[in-house]
């Protein structure tokens, strides 16, 4: 039995192409081959199902939500999404920011 169905709110990962590795949420199903996907840091676009790898995470959202509603639902629901956001923030830190974090960890 399948546990991962293509449905509105399903978090999936793009498995090839320009957006490789990006986590997206299915916000609408266009037809039997394509879905409308959205993520906090990308423009809403259509993606072929062959390019998507479905995950176990499902977010409770309505069909075609506003961007702020989607971001809030993603952050509230998935620890995986929160970890990826933290990883992206840490990757964008410069040397001085890493130094300040190190000092803050020492104080605690």
Residue 43 confidence (pLDDT) above 80 = yes
* Residue 30: per-residue pLDDT: 95
Distance CA 89, CA 74 (A): 16
Closest of 59, 55, 53 to residue 19, by C-alpha: 53
- Would the pTM count as exceeding 0.85? no
| Top-level class of domain 10-78 | mainly beta
How would you classify residue 27: left for phi > 0, otherwise alpha for psi between -120 and 50, otherwise beta?
Answer: alpha
Taking only the tens place, the pLDDT of each residue in 47-79 is: 999 999 998 888 888 888 898 888 888 777 767
Would you give the DSSP letter of residue 49?
G
pLDDT score of 7 more than 80: yes
Q: Residue 98: its pLDDT value, please?
A: 92
Tell me how far apart the alpha carbons of residues 15 and 57 are, in angstroms, rounded to a whole number. 16
- CA 98 and chain centroid, separation: 25
Query: What are the residue boundaries of the structural domains of the chain, listed by start?
Result: 10-78
């Amino acid at each position: 039995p399948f546990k991962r169905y293509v449905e509105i709110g399903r978090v999936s990962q793009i498995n090839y192409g320009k957006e490789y590795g990006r986590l997206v949420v299915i916000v609408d199903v266009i037809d039997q081959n394509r879905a409308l996907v959205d993520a906090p840091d990308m423009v809403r676009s259509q993606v072929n199902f062959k390019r998507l790898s479905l995950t176990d995470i499902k977010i409770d959202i309505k069909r075609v939500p506003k961007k702020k509603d989607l971001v809030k639902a993603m952050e509230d629901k998935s620890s995986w999404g929160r970890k990826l956001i933290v990883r992206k923030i840490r990757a964008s830190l410069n040397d001085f920011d890493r130094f300040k974090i190190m000092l803050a960890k020492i104080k605690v």
